[in-house]
Amino acid sequence: MDETAFKAYCNDIFNFIEDGLMVVGCDGAIITVNSAMERLSGYDRDALVGSKCSVLNCDACERMRKVDSKWCMLFERGAINRKRCLFMKKDGTYLSALKKATVLKDDKGQVMGAIETFTDLAEIDKRDQQIEQLSLHLASDVGFCGIVGECAPMLRLFNIIEKAAESDAPVFIYGESGTGKELVARAIHDLGRRREGPYVQFNCAALNESLFESELFGHVKGAFTGAYRHRIGRFEAAHTGDIFLDEIGDIPLSTQAKLLRVLETRMFERVGDHKPISVDVRIICATNRNLSQLVAEGQFREDLFYRINVIPIHIPPLRQRKEEIPLLTRHFISKLGEKTGKQITGISPDVMARFMRYDWPGNIRELKSVLEYAFVVAEPETIHAQHLPEHFGKADQTPVADPISKPRPGTTAGAGLQDAPPASGDDAPDSERQDLVKALRKSGGNKSQAAKLLGVHRMTVWNRMKKYGIALEKEIRKAQDTA
């Protein structure tokens, strides 16, 4: 085989390899790359061949360069085995890759160069996220995307969530601490057009001001003391998906201007870099603070407030929907029983009466915490007053003048583990209800199949059934009778 034929033969082998492959000379110049490397990096072969390998700005390589007489530690070690790295693509974005490298020697043992391979970890990371999302779905296959509620305010909330999910406009979730803002944000993502993309959550109250920009927008190696590697920011990680900024009222003023720029231009710059990066992200915000008051006090930018407050969603506190305490109590007891294996079947009438009198300043989170404590100390099968935390209810033991806290006819405060009655559909559009009924009958009651027939999400079917008071078994019997 002559030299030309041999080179063509090697080139075919290189291009057959699915991982990115690059051959580098002893001086760091790129000798050749395969087609997979072109695809991963965004550079074509002509742009890479002849260039220094530093063109990729790989953070793993940065730490190995300029050692003694060698330009790279690879020629001292002889190989790099499965090292995770980030390298910069032609468009300025980072690719997460698993790198392997080894030196090439001739038959006399003289170093001729090095060969490096890059395995794209983006698909693996995406798969891991999909597994995590599936686990969340399986763990929350109750209610509306894991949100428990059947009263009129909650059904209105579910309808708003559906509408917000269909849009790419910014969503602003507000409500007291413990009402479930994280669940609402997640439901918007899971029901939306971006559900196949990433969902990135960031608590704005969790970091000090100096780390904010790096966390949101990322940084390049050497941008500041301690920046030993490139870092992908939350916005870049959320590309093509949704980013949830929890407690946005705590974001520093210095970062607010840059966040506004991202919302208006869909571009940002990493800390220590001046190259603009394009990003396609829908932003979902939440807070338990009064942003209007913060704007008036000069602690929050007015222009940013108007930019994020496009679709406002309010979550009612638990004290405004006390009729759902029995339903929520049953739900948490069921979940705790599955988790612990402990046979607790319910709560005593006097405990339910105390629950209905209490104002729940900590909302759903507080109710769950009280039941978790009681679950630990209670003996099977019922939770009694002595099983509640000592501090519970001492701040508010007097009945609240709230008509919804009274037991419904036919129930008692203690038995109260009956579901709230479904909302009436008298004021709903007849066509939507009729279409839903037809789809349910045609699918034999299979909600997923009915959703496909209607071209909507399965949770939308669940929500509309609650909204219109549709009894599934009744509709299936009607379909069988008319068949």
pLDDT digits (tens, 9 = 90+) for 15-51: 888 899 999 988 888 999 999 999 999 999 999 999 9
CATH number at residue 38: 3.30.450.20
CATH number at residue 225: 3.40.50.300
pTM above 0.75, yes or no: no
The answer to whether residues 236 and 343 belong to one domain is no
Chain-centroid distance of CA 33 in Å reads 36
The answer to whether residues 22 and 81 belong to one domain is yes
Identify the band that residue 61 occupies on the pLDDT scale cut at 50, 70 and 90. Answer: confident
**Domain assignment of residue 312, yes or no:** yes
**Domain assignment of residue 415, yes or no:** no
Range of the domain at 331: 319-405
Q: Could you tell me if 349 and 412 are in contact, meaning their C-beta atoms sit under 8 angstroms apart?
A: yes
Q: Could you tell me if 95 and 239 are in contact, meaning their C-beta atoms sit under 8 angstroms apart?
A: no
Q: Which of 127-136, 304-313, 320-329, 447-456 has the lowest mean pLDDT?
A: 127-136
Residue 398 has pLDDT above 80, yes or no: no
The answer to whether residues 44 and 135 belong to one domain is no
The answer to whether residues 225 and 165 belong to one domain is yes
The answer to whether residues 225 and 244 belong to one domain is yes
Torsion of CA 260, 262, 265, 266, to 10 degrees: -150
Q: Which of 103-117, 176-190, 290-304 has the lowest mean pLDDT?
A: 103-117
